[in-house]
Amino acid sequence: MIREPFYDPKKSYEENYENGPFGAFKDPKKYENTGEPEYDFLGNKVYLPFGIPAGPLLNGRFVKAALDSGFDIAVYKTVRTQAYPCNAFPNVVAVDLNGDLTLEQAKNGIISKDSYEAPLSITNSFGVPSFDAQIWQKDLAEAVAHAGNSQVVVGSFQGTKKGDGDVDAFVADFVLAARLVKETGAKILEVNFSCPNEGTAHLMCFDVAMVRRTSEAIKNEIGNTPLVIKIAYYENQEALEKLIQDVGNIVDGISAINTIGSAVRNEKGEQALPGEGRLVSGVCGESIKWAGLDMTGRLKNLREELGMKFTIVGVGGVSSADDFKKYREAGADAVMSATGAMWNPMLAQEIKKV
């Protein structure tokens, strides 16, 4: 169902940050669960292993509204160790896709549109903006403290590459970010290895050696605090198997997928998002559900084959109770919705009713 979104795509990121959330998240009535929480998510009891992944929850007010609205897992938008600017407006645009976004179609490019209707797919392009750590640390700590007994706030972060390409410094920045997030009291940390806007043609999650090195360094820093890695869709099964072999016993959870990149133009054939390096941006929503479900199933099979224990977080195109069920059946321990939840802030309550 499409309702008034809690992030307003017609407003800038800054306006959303300052004045949001909107729609049913503006002044949510606290959802009261009944019975006992039956599920465990990385050592935390939850009523339903369902939440909002990194991105749409821009700050503590958004996180609190999500928790109060019945989303038991809320991921605070990915932060960096230092302030970082947001890409130019617009940052969220609807795309004209009715069925699946195949990898072939993603390579050929897609068309944007003005209306947000079901089945909804969008492109988003923020560039992972961040405030200075002292600002988000205080805000995140308050959001963490707001979680009820059977809810959990996840702190998402990533490192920032310096111009000189110093790999040691890049890894050290991931480790510092992890430490700063852990200091807020967040019980679960998530590292974003799948940001399509890091200025590299290749996402970090496809560089298995770097994923391993960085994950190990982060785990050395945060000890027993669970670490989830966020990865993109892997087309190649051998490459996915190599990744899982190398990191499946280091990390505590794997969240997949992030968006699928595609060139986005308007009906006139012009670049839809203004600025250099923004022709290709990440597509999310209904049209990538097939990819999220596919990855969930493959991760489950690999976990079994390799006798591993990592938690699987299924993400991509979830907008209904039926989608939640499909992900659970495919092997997801927890399920998350970004686009679907943005346009339906009542989604967790609707799933809980089923």
Ligand X SMILES: Cc1cc2nc3c(=O)[nH]c(=O)nc-3n(C[C@H](O)[C@H](O)[C@H](O)COP(=O)(O)O)c2cc1C
Site residues for ligand X per CB under 6 A: 53-56, 77-78, 92, 124, 126, 128, 156, 192, 230, 258-259, 284-285, 288, 315-318, 337-340
**Nearer of residues 37 and 59 to ligand X, judged by Cβ:** 59
Going along 214-350, which residue ranges are E strands?
227-231, 253-256, 260-265, 280-285, 311-315, 334-336
User: Nearest 5 degrees, angle CA 309-CA 310-CA 314?
Assistant: 130
Alpha helix stretches (DSSP H) within 110-264 = 133-146, 167-182, 208-222, 237-247
From the list 86, 195, 205, 284, the catalytic residue is 195
Closest CB to ligand X among residues 56, 331: 56
Minimum CB separation of residue 143 from ligand X in Å reads: 15
The continuous run of DSSP H or E covering 113 comes out as: strand 110-113
What does the alpha-carbon distance between residue 309 and residue 248 come to, in Å, rounded to a whole number? 8
Smallest CA-to-CA distance from 232 within 248, 215, 255 is with: 255
Closest CB 233 distance from ligand X, rounded Å: 10
* Residue 169: CB minimum distance to ligand X, A: 22
Separation of first and last alpha carbons in the chain:
15
DSSP 36-102: ---EEETTEEESSSEEE-SSS--SHHHHHHHHHTT-SEEEEEEE-SS-BPPPPSP-EEEE--SS---
Cβ atoms within 10 A of the Cβ of 89, count? 15
> Which residue number places its CB atom closest to ligand X?
55
- Measured from the CB atom, is 86 or 217 closer to ligand X? 86
Q: How far is the CB of 67 from ligand X (least distance, A)?
A: 17
- Cα gap 234→242, rounded to integer Å: 11
Asked about 284 being catalytic, the answer comes back as no
Taking the complex as a whole, the smallest distance from the CB of residue 3 to ligand X amounts, in Å, to 15
The nearer residue to ligand X, 46 or 336, going by C-beta atoms, is 336
**Interior/surface letters 115-143, b for 16+ CB within 10 angstroms, e for the rest:** ebeeebbbbbbbbbbbbebeebbebbbbb
CB of 134 to ligand X, least distance (A): 20
Which CB sits closer to ligand X, 11 or 230?
230
**Structure-token pair, residue 298:** 């493959």
Catalytic positions, written as ranges: 195
